[in-house]
């Protein structure tokens, strides 16, 4: 083997090793024929030439690290019971350049034995009186829950982190064929979302049915949280309660983005920006300070959409726990995927491939640092039960059934104004 060929051979072994160790849960399913094909290739082509083939074969048969699959299973269990939302923060000049420099430190009151771990964040099975208590509490509106905005934000962050830790960079590739579109956070799973490939040819990634897509699960979760937030607001029994809950959710969103939990922050914004919620008269009574928080959340959204690597700047921010918005990240990757992946000669556009890899590799970078918050299983169970009850509700019907929203009186006044205007216009032509 010549010197150049030997370099290519060893580089290929490096890529194979990376494929086995990093993408095993994605590509090497237990009953996949790929596993047998790859094992045969190592035995016949690699091991006779290089001893590293035996290392690769051993890695192939070594039990996979179970954290990823365990997280994936816990994600499904969380979604079956349904999950959570957002919390609180500060006010600063919106004209400044967005820099998120806060360090998330464990609180002084948090004991070392209560430090965050994925295992402790998992829901405990309900039984006996606990299940009865939960079934009773799930009817209590979130507006009557006495937990502080900061504490709720922490638990929503823990739940969102549990979701995000189960994903892999590969899940964000080829999202267009999964039905992910701009301004669409959760496509209808009952309708086929397959569309034509991106202009100039699609990415060299196997198409994955939307129903099996981990990205679709993340987006559906985000959509459920946003709908739950909106539903909790429109079912408030008075305008005063609505005002208090609007303020509470805005502070929740602010807490989350300051902690670099942009996923939950954008879910809060999505719930507050829904058409039904925006029509509520309670918005007119918000203080200017609280209204500034809404503008900050909108500015954060613009910031996140502005650059696909905006969250990777600076060594300090790279070490801080971060939860990106799955939809915004998917759209950034999708933008990079537009166009052909090969030249007219058939050679791959390696610059394009490297750019895509650089964007999706943020997923692993963000998964390295975790938040130190201790899970409150009782509050998490309550939040999941409320979301299970309200995340798929029709907001317009909920609002119409609630006299506190004053929708009927408002629509009647609007109809009267239109009629008066038409009469005046008609009178001018007589």
Give the span between the Cα atoms of 350 and 341, in whole angstroms. Answer: 8
What pLDDT does 152 receive? 97
Average pLDDT score over residue span 8-16: 90
Range in 95-99, 176-180, 396-400 the model is least confident about: 95-99
Cβ–Cβ < 8 Å for 333, 360: yes
Give the span between the Cα atoms of 128 and 131, in whole angstroms. Answer: 6
Query: Do you know the residue count of the chain?
Result: 430
What pLDDT does 219 receive? 94
Cβ–Cβ < 8 Å for 163, 78: yes
- Residue 18: pLDDT band (50, 70, 90) is confident
Whether 263 shows a pLDDT value over 50: the answer reads yes
List the alpha helices (DSSP H) in 213-349. 214-234, 239-258, 262-272, 275-278, 288-306, 315-319, 326-337
Give the span between the Cα atoms of 229 and 74, in whole angstroms. Answer: 23
Over residues 90-145, the pLDDT tens digits come to 333 433 334 444 434 444 444 434 443 433 434 444 444 444 555 566 778 899 88
Work out the mean pLDDT of the chain and round it to a whole number: 78
What pLDDT does 376 receive? 95
What pLDDT does 78 receive? 40
List the alpha helices (DSSP H) in 338-376. 350-360, 362-367
Q: Among the CATH numbers 1.10.1240.10, 1.10.840.10, 2.40.50.140, 3.40.50.150, which is that of 67-393?
A: 1.10.840.10
Residue 414 structure tokens: 């609007």
- Residue 326: pLDDT band (50, 70, 90) is very high
CA distances from 394 to 164, 184, 224, 389, 390 (A): 27, 17, 12, 11, 9
Locus of tokens 């699959």: 69
What pLDDT does 183 receive? 67
Domain ranges of the chain: 1-64, 67-393
Range in 63-72, 223-232, 245-254, 380-389 the model is least confident about: 63-72
Give the span between the Cα atoms of 212 and 179, in whole angstroms. Answer: 12
What pLDDT does 289 receive? 94
Cβ–Cβ < 8 Å for 290, 247: yes
- Residue 381: pLDDT band (50, 70, 90) is very high
What pLDDT does 414 receive? 66
Range in 97-106, 151-160, 224-233, 261-270 the model is least confident about: 97-106
> Residues of the chain with pLDDT > 90: what percent?
46
Whether 322 shows a pLDDT value over 70: the answer reads yes
Q: Is 0.95 surpassed by the pTM of this model? A: no
Cβ–Cβ < 8 Å for 267, 229: yes
Cβ–Cβ < 8 Å for 341, 288: no
Residue 33 structure tokens: 């024929």
What pLDDT does 26 receive? 81
Range in 274-283, 363-372, 415-424 the model is least confident about: 415-424
- Residue 217: pLDDT band (50, 70, 90) is very high
> Residues of the chain with pLDDT > 70: what percent?
71
């Amino acid at each position: 083997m010549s010197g150049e060929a030997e370099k290519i051979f060893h580089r290929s072994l490096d890529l194979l090793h990376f494929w086995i160790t990093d993408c095993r849960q994605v590509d090497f399913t237990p009953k996949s024929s790929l596993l047998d094909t790859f094992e045969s290739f190592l035995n016949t082509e690699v091991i006779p030439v290089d001893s590293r083939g035996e290392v690769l074969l051993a890695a192939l048969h070594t039990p996979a690290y179970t954290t990823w699959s365990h997280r994936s299973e816990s994600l499904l269990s969380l979604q079956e019971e349904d999950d959570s939302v957002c919390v609180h923060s500060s006010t600063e000049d919106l004209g400044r350049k967005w820099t998120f420099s806060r360090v998330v430190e464990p609180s002084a009151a948090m004991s070392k034995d209560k430090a965050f771990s994925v295992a402790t964040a998992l829901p405990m099975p309900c039984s006996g009186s606990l299940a009865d208590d939960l079934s009773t509490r799930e009817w209590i509106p979130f507006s009557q829950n006495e937990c502080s905005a900061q504490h709720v934000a922490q638990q929503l962050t823990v739940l969102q982190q549990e979701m995000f830790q189960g994903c892999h960079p590969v899940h964000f590739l080829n999202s267009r064929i999964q039905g992910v579109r701009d301004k669409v956070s959760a496509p209808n799973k009952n309708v086929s979302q397959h569309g034509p490939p991106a202009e100039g040819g699609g990415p060299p990634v196997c198409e994955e049915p939307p129903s099996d897509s981990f990205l679709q699960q993340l987006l559906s979760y985000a959509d459920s949280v946003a709908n739950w937030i909106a539903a909790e607001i429109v079912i408030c029994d008075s305008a005063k309660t609505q005002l208090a809950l609007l303020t509470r959710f805005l502070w929740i969103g602010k807490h989350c983005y300051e902690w670099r939990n942009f996923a939950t922050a954008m879910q809060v914004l999505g719930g507050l920006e829904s058409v039904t919620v925006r029509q509520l008269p309670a918005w007119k009574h918000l203080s200017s300070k609280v209204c500034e928080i809404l503008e900050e959340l909108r500015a954060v959204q613009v910031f996140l959409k502005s650059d696909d690597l905006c969250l990777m700047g600076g060594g300090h921010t790279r070490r801080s726990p971060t939860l990106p918005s799955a939809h915004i990240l998917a759209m950034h990757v999708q933008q990079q995927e537009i166009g052909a992946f090969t030249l007219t000669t058939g050679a791959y556009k390696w610059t394009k491939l490297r750019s895509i890899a650089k964007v999706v590799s943020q997923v692993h970078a963000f998964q390295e640092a975790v938040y130190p918050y201790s899970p409150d299983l009782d509050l998490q169970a309550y939040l999941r039960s409320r979301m299970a009850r309200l995340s798929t509700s029709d907001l317009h019907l909920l609002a119409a059934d609630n006299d506190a929203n004053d929708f009927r009186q408002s629509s009647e006044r609007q109809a009267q104004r239109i009629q008066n205007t038409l009469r005046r216009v008609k009178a001018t032509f007589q």
